[in-house]
Amino acid sequence: MLQVNEIREQKEAFIKALAKRGMDATADIEAVLQADEERRSTQAKLDETLAESNRYSKEIGMLFKNGEIDKANALKEKTVALKEESKVLQEQLSTATDTMEQLLYILPNIPHESVPAGTDENDNEEVFSEGEIPALSGDALPHWELAKKYDLIDFELGVKVTGAGFPVFKGKGAKLQRALITYFLDKNTAAGYTEYQVPHLVNEASGYGTGQLPDKEGQMYHVTGDDLYLIPTAEVPVTNLFRGDLLMHNQLPICCTGYTPCFRREAGSYGAHVRGLNRLHQFDKVEIVRIEHPDNSYAALDGMVDHVKGILRDLKLPYRILRLCGGDLGFTSALTYDFEVFSTAQDRWLEISSVSNFETFQANRLKLRFKDADGKNQLVHTLNGSALALPRVIAGILENYQTPEGIKIPDVLVPYCGFDMIV
């Protein structure tokens, strides 16, 4: 959530920055400032009323002490009226504050200055690429055909049990999935991330804290009987572990990793681009989350990018990195780098990780602060990234490592799988 005091001080700069997302935020910004003015004006009236009531209370005590009973009783009547007035003002303040917060909730984050202008994924900037795209035989298969041929994933069985977008992994397919999860967690913990096992459902406050609510409410599975939400990513419960905390500056950075299944209602349209593992309602992901000092967050973002690079180098998968343009940037993000693996059999790039800096946007919602070296309370910066999302990594491995003899397992995964070929 944007900070209203910064909007007040830099209104035109905020409108200009949000234009990079392809939106005219003028009316929204004006509405926030109007609500803020109402809130501040009501707060000032309330403070004045309470101060006057306190002053009268002290005078009443002195008047009774001096035997001036009539004057004391007259002032008591005024304090009763002031208490009623303050009660009304408290309600007005609460309404004005709620109105302002609801308006702030629908404003996205300000893009970082390095974010390119653009309307959609076609305007994203490629900033890095690495790895050779393998030359496959003419009869190379996409991963959904390989999964069927080698009996690794049963999409039809998932439809039987639940519905489309809920695949069933089996045999060596399940073991490959488990190997990747363990390998990713081992890489992350070796890099200094503390592993957490977190709930797979969160309350509404957690959804608002990291920005999934109200922005993505329709994309989340809602357990209405308990008013809980199935998580779309481990980012939500992991970041919310620190909601409302006041940290000391020497506690930063806090580095977390966790594996969870992820649930999203967004599986979407039909066609080859969403076939197989390309887009699912349920999938597995290993996440990394950092809570950083504002001065260090962009260096931390670069470190997270390098960390994901290292994983993909280990897997020997051809990949590229994109800096997302304003129109493709997530609601909560100030700067995002997307990693994409090249699927040779599909002849297309598949997104397998997003690494983002949210600056203070999530922290302001979470009321997550730290006390700096001078004893001043400040909002932290939060960051997160996929390290990695499994479905498209598995798709890339199956497609890029296929041979006439079978599917070769990347060398780094062999100790985790216990086999080096799927035949």
353 is in an annotated binding site: yes
* Confidence at residue 311, expressed as pLDDT on a 0 to 100 scale: 98
Architecture of the domain delimited by 4-105: Orthogonal Bundle (1.10)
Q: For 382, list phi and psi in degrees, rounded to 5.
A: -115, 145
In degrees, to the nearest 5, what angle opens at C-alpha 392 toward C-alphas 390 and 397?
90
* Low-confidence winner among 132-141, 357-366, 414-423 (lowest mean pLDDT): 132-141
30 is in an annotated binding site: no
User: Residue 273 — pLDDT band, cuts 50, 70, 90?
Assistant: low
**Distance between CA 185 and CA 3 in Å, rounded?**
35
* 277 pLDDT higher than 70: yes
* 272 pLDDT higher than 70: no
Identify residue 390 by its one-letter amino acid code.
L
**Distance between CA 278 and CA 144 in Å, rounded?**
9
User: Residue 341 — pLDDT band, cuts 50, 70, 90?
Assistant: very high
* 269 pLDDT higher than 60: no
* Confidence at residue 176, expressed as pLDDT on a 0 to 100 scale: 98
What is the mean pLDDT of the segment spanning 167-174? Answer: 98
269 is in an annotated binding site: no
Q: Which CATH superfamily is domain 121-422 in?
A: Bira Bifunctional Protein; Domain 2 (3.30.930.10)
User: What is the average pLDDT value for the chain, to the nearest integer?
Assistant: 94
* Confidence at residue 200, expressed as pLDDT on a 0 to 100 scale: 98
233 is in an annotated binding site: yes
pLDDT digit string, tens, across residues 63-115: 777 777 877 777 778 888 888 999 999 999 999 999 999 999 999 999 999 99
What is the mean pLDDT of the segment spanning 169-182? Answer: 98
* 270 pLDDT higher than 70: no
Which residues does residue 348 pair with via DSSP β-bridges, in sequence order? Answer: 343
The b/e string for 198-236 (b: 16+ C-beta within 10 A; e otherwise) is: bebebeeebbbbbbbbebbeeebeeeeeeebbbbbbbbb
What is the mean pLDDT of the segment spanning 327-337? Answer: 97
User: Residue 410 — pLDDT band, cuts 50, 70, 90?
Assistant: very high
Identify residue 379 by its one-letter amino acid code.
L
Contact partners, residue 355, CB within 8 Å, separation at least 6: 301, 304, 305, 308, 336, 337, 339, 383, 384, 385, 386
pLDDT digit string, tens, across residues 246-258: 999 999 999 999 9
Domain layout of the chain by residue ranges: 4-105, 121-422
354 is in an annotated binding site: yes
* Confidence at residue 151, expressed as pLDDT on a 0 to 100 scale: 97
Place of tokens 């009321």: 367
pLDDT digit string, tens, across residues 24-66: 999 999 999 999 999 999 999 999 999 988 887 788 877 777 7
pLDDT digit string, tens, across residues 176-222: 999 999 999 999 999 999 999 999 999 999 999 999 999 888 899 99
Task: Report in angstroms the alpha-carbon separations of 421 from 88, 277, 315, 401.
Answer: 73, 21, 15, 10
**Distance between CA 368 and CA 95 in Å, rounded?**
24
351 is in an annotated binding site: yes
Q: Say whether 121-422 and 4-105 share the same fold.
A: no
pLDDT digit string, tens, across residues 283-328: 999 999 999 999 999 999 999 999 999 999 999 999 999 999 999 9
> H or E element: which one contains 53?
helix 26-65
264 is in an annotated binding site: yes
265 is in an annotated binding site: yes
